[in-house]
Structure formats: C-alpha cells, structure tokens
Chain A
C-alpha cells in the first residue's frame, strides 16, 4: 500500500517586547541568571499579572499577516503542568479563544503555490531555562513570562521539504513585521512537529507522533524524514504505532521516545481568574493592519515586475527584510535597465563573502556606487570576473575603492593577444593530453586550458580572448 505523510507544525515565536507579557521585567537576552524576575513572573501569592499591550498588538499583527480572523473577544487560560522551568506550576496560555484563527500561508512547492492553513495563533508566557549538570538542574527564570506566540498549522503539509519551506516563509513574514528577531540559536523561534502517515487518498488521520527538540529548520526536515521512515517500517511489519512525544537526537540523527505520557486533558485548562477578558474592536484591528509593511511575497512579485528579476533571484533577495532593503537600494542605483548583473553579484560573490564572514548580506559594506563601479569595470573588460572577486574581497577588508585596488594589485585584465601568446604556448606544451582531447572533438576540454592560462596570469588574462586564441591556434594546427 502507498502511504502519504501528514504533517502539522507548532511554531513558538518570542515576541520582541521590552518587558514580559504579564509584568514589567526586562526581556534582555543573556542577562545574569534570575536578575529579570519579580513576584508576578515567579508566581508569588498575592501578585497579579497585567497584560502587556504591545504583546497583544504584536500578536494581532502576526495574525493579520497570516490572513487569520482576529477574535473580537479573547481570554487567557491556565495550563497545568509540574516541571521546574515553571515556577507557578501553571502556564498562562489560551485554550478555546485564541487571539487569531483560521488563516493561511502560501508556500512555493516545486514552482507551484501551496496553501497551508493556520489553525490558530495564541499568546502565552514562556517557561524558564534549565541547565542540567550532574545530579542537579540549575534554574534561571529570566525567560519565564516572556511573550510567546504559538502558531499552529493545519495538517496540510505533506513532505519534510514542504515543512522546511513553510518554516522559511513563516520566519520571513514574522521578521518583516519587526515583532521578533526569529533567531533559532537564541530560542526566539522554536518548532515542534506532528507527523502521521495514512494510505494515499484517504481522509482519516493515522496515529501521530510529536517531535520536540528541533533546533534548526534542517533538524525539522531530517527528523520528519526519520519519523516517516519509522512509521512506514512499523506499518510494513504490521506493528502498532503508539501516540507519543519523541525527542530528536541531532548527533545520532534519530528520534527517541520520551517517557512522559501527559495528555491534553491532563493539562486541566480553566479560565485564568487573574486576568479579565479582552475585546478587540474592528477599528483597532484596522489601525494595526495599517502598520503591516509590504510582505515578502508581495515584494518578490514587485522585484520581478520592477527589476525584471527571475522568480529564483527575487525569492532569494526578499528572504529577510534587511536583505531586501539592501538589495533594492543596489538594484535601484544600477544605471542600466537590465538589473541582472546586480542580482548575480548579490546572490553570488557578495552572498559568498557574507557567508564566509559569518555575516548577513546586509552587513557587507559595499555601497551601491561601489558595486556599480565593480560591475562597470567587468562590463568594460578592464578586469576579469575573477579579478573582480578579488576586488570585492579587498574592498570589504580595506574599504578602498575599486579603481585603487585594481591599480595597487595590478589587476587590469590582459586582453592584448601578443601579451598572452607566451603563456598560451606554455600551457599547450604542458598539456598534450588535453590538447589531444580537444582535437579529437571534446570541445569542453578547452575550458581546462583556458583555466590554466588564467592561473599562470593570476586571473588577469581575459578568458574570452584566451578562449578565442586557443580555439584558433588548435583548430589551425
């Protein structure tokens, strides 16, 4: 029988408010342990939580950006569980009336658009952090009470790759809204995955497992693939799948069963008596809607229309807000109507520089004018593409302008045939086999010879000229 995976994702986004969701403690990352806590977030008797207005507004903003309906009436509930990261033994969350529900996110799957439903987005308080050491656990409650928006998808995702796309696009949208830094390493974005399999074409859901401890989008993809295989193997062997929570072990690349067997009913939700309910009126929603900027999908379409970019290029350039602003500044400043060279530079050499420096593209200090200068030097044939990359690296390191770097490093491209003849002859002599291949009809082997001449001239030879020279020389002889 052929099976299909059914996947739903729960994403927790830490909202970037200055203070916690129900008290005035700071939310600064990396503070000394237990220095950002107070009677409210520690749950001391007699203390009263009061909702942070900004946290509610951010939640509404995300809900709107995800095409959700915003509830006119919303409230908070207590979720009970006993674990040292939760000083109150209850978590203030939302049960039956989440702030936002019934939305969707369109993602790209193999060039097609697929709509993934968003079941709900609700606001809750974060738990503390545990550091396990020997026989003890150290507890830091600084994170306790930070606002967390849980975004729950419908089980509309049918492949690990789709889950990866969904997360990438969701992160992108939330980041554009300036409500979270979405940094997985800092834990500002976390993901749990629900997965089951069912015979292809049927409607009924199979028994699911929930995977936790997913620290990157790649981990989500790998863990889902592992779980799908595990489910299929159990099915093939005629064994039962048990509903359970499993932990992803990144090192061993497998999931492990967790002992805890708490079920939804064990959380014993009831309305939070310390917080009155909230009404959200239409005019307030309208005001918040106005603060939503151009979102990645719209921006992508505009980049394609305004700058003639391909879908592929546009998609890469709108991936984060900073990247898109950086890219657009440079696309705009490029004097020619054909913007392809700028896109190529941004996605190619400049992205590589950013990567190798562990930085974001937007942190690469190359001004629009400086980029135009480099592209201009290449297009006029004054420097080779290879030399241009050297110029770029040097420009980032020293801050010098392209003209100076070309002069100082003697990078001017050699297009003069007589100046290249000696190197070419040497390469032909050194590589009789490749020369033979070419003569025997393997046309591509000429590129190896071009590369050798480039190497001997430290990248200064004009590869187009070298290629023409070689072709003439080897065809004539």
Chain B
C-alpha cells in the first residue's frame, strides 16, 4: 500500500512528533514496508470468524476493590526532567 508523506506527517502531528525531512523520508519508507507486510492479512479467508478482541483466550479477569500501596512520590518523580512541589512540570499546553 502506498503511503503518502502527508499521511506520515499527519500521524506524526497527532503524536506530537516533529520530523526532520530526512526522518520523514526514512519513516515513510519503513511504515510502507510494515503496512505491506500487514496487508497479507487481507488474503486470509475470515468468513464466519468472529472478530478477535484478545489473543490470550482469557476472560473476566478482575480484582476486588481493595487498596494496595501507591508509589512514594520521590520515586514517581525520580525520572521527571522538571518537577515542583510534588507535581510534574511540563511546558504550558492549552488546547
């Protein structure tokens, strides 16, 4: 399946990723190869097959409404580049 650069740019934009021109080239090529691989699924005969929602064959795995310990706040924030008073700090984003 041919993948236009516009589509790749659009998906990158949705993911808030900025791509340099050479990255756009490379990723478009890679994504196209991935999609071609996946397109093989179109050849499978799926008449009468229920859509799969999970591959492990499990169902109804639940837990009781019982608390367990949360992380200590120092640990939660340990890898944050910016933090303040227990908060993560990010550049201001308002939609």
B41 contacts A by Cβ under 8 Å: no
A-B interface, 6 closest residue pairs, ranked by CB to CB distance from nearest: A24-B68, A138-B87, A276-B58, A54-B65, A139-B88, A33-B86
- Bound together, the chains give a CA A323 to CA B22 distance in angstroms of 66
- With A82-B14, A271-B54, A276-B56 already in contact, the answer to whether A18 and B89 are too (CB < 8 A) is no
Question: Looking at chain B, what size class is its interface with the partner chain?
Answer: 35 or more
Which residues of B have CB within 8 Å of A19?
A: 65-68
Binding site for A on B (CB under 8 A): 14-16, 52-56, 58-71, 73, 76-77, 82, 84-95
- Bound together, the chains give a CA A258 to CA B89 distance in angstroms of 23
Given contacts A24-B63, A138-B85, 11 further A-B contacts (CB under 8 A): A33-B73, A38-B68, A39-B71, A50-B63, A54-B64, A56-B62, A75-B53, A137-B90, A271-B54, A273-B55, A277-B53
Q: Which one, B55, B63, B70, B87, contacts A33 given CB within 8 A?
A: B87
- Tell me the A1-58 residues at the B interface (CB within 8 Å): 17-19, 23-26, 32-39, 42, 50-56
Asked if B88 and A138 make an inter-chain contact with CB atoms under 8 angstroms apart, the answer reads yes
Closest CB of chain A to B31's CB: distance in Å?
14
- With A52-B62, A52-B63, A138-B84 already in contact, the answer to whether A75 and B89 are too (CB < 8 A) is no
Which residues of B have CB within 8 Å of A32?
A: 73, 86
Name which of A118-126, A128-136, A336-344, A417-425 contacts chain B.
A128-136
Which residues of A have CB within 8 Å of B56?
A: 276
The listed residue with most B CB atoms (<10 A of its CB), out of A81, A273, A277, is A277
- Bound together, the chains give a CA A51 to CA B63 distance in angstroms of 6
Asked if A277 and B59 make an inter-chain contact with CB atoms under 8 angstroms apart, the answer reads yes
Closest CB of chain B to A134's CB: distance in Å?
7
Which residues of B have CB within 8 Å of A39?
A: 71
Q: Which one, B58, B63, B73, B88, contacts A53 given CB within 8 A?
A: B63
Asked if B70 and A136 make an inter-chain contact with CB atoms under 8 angstroms apart, the answer reads no
Q: Which one, B61, B77, B92, contacts A134 given CB within 8 A?
A: B92
- Bound together, the chains give a CA A81 to CA B95 distance in angstroms of 12
- Bound together, the chains give a CA A338 to CA B54 distance in angstroms of 62
Q: Which one, A42, A56, A279, contacts B76 given CB within 8 A?
A: A42
Asked if A137 and B65 make an inter-chain contact with CB atoms under 8 angstroms apart, the answer reads no
The listed residue with most B CB atoms (<10 A of its CB), out of A51, A139, A140, is A139
A83 contacts B by Cβ under 8 Å: yes
Asked if B61 and A18 make an inter-chain contact with CB atoms under 8 angstroms apart, the answer reads no
Which residues of A have CB within 8 Å of B55?
A: 273
- With A33-B86, A82-B14 already in contact, the answer to whether A18 and B70 are too (CB < 8 A) is no
Binding site for B on A (CB under 8 A): 17-19, 23-26, 32-39, 42, 50-56, 75, 80-84, 89, 130-141, 258-260, 262, 266, 268, 271, 273, 275-279
- Bound together, the chains give a CA A275 to CA B93 distance in angstroms of 31
Closest CB of chain B to A292's CB: distance in Å?
19
- Bound together, the chains give a CA A229 to CA B23 distance in angstroms of 48
- With A34-B73, A137-B90 already in contact, the answer to whether A17 and B65 are too (CB < 8 A) is yes
- With A136-B92, A137-B93 already in contact, the answer to whether A38 and B54 are too (CB < 8 A) is no
Asked if B89 and A136 make an inter-chain contact with CB atoms under 8 angstroms apart, the answer reads yes
- With A138-B89, A139-B88 already in contact, the answer to whether A278 and B66 are too (CB < 8 A) is no
Which residues of A have CB within 8 Å of B54?
A: 75, 271, 273, 275-277
Which residues of B have CB within 8 Å of A133?
A: 92
Which residues of A have CB within 8 Å of B68?
A: 19, 23-25, 38
Which residues of A have CB within 8 Å of B62?
A: 50-53, 56, 278
- With A276-B59, A276-B60 already in contact, the answer to whether A34 and B86 are too (CB < 8 A) is yes
Q: Which one, A42, A82, A271, contacts B15 given CB within 8 A?
A: A82
Which residues of A have CB within 8 Å of B65?
A: 17-19, 52-55
Which residues of A have CB within 8 Å of B66?
A: 18-19, 24
- Bound together, the chains give a CA A259 to CA B67 distance in angstroms of 40
Asked if B86 and A135 make an inter-chain contact with CB atoms under 8 angstroms apart, the answer reads no
- Bound together, the chains give a CA A364 to CA B71 distance in angstroms of 41
- Bound together, the chains give a CA A268 to CA B52 distance in angstroms of 17
Which residues of B have CB within 8 Å of A38?
A: 68-71
- Bound together, the chains give a CA A327 to CA B82 distance in angstroms of 53
Asked if B89 and A139 make an inter-chain contact with CB atoms under 8 angstroms apart, the answer reads yes
- With A35-B73, A273-B55 already in contact, the answer to whether A139 and B60 are too (CB < 8 A) is no
Q: Which one, A34, A50, A84, A273, contacts B93 given CB within 8 A?
A: A84
Asked if A35 and B70 make an inter-chain contact with CB atoms under 8 angstroms apart, the answer reads yes
Closest CB of chain A to B24's CB: distance in Å?
18
Query: Can you report 6 residue pairs joining A to B where beta carbons are below 8 Å apart?
Result: A25-B70, A32-B73, A33-B86, A50-B63, A276-B61, A277-B59
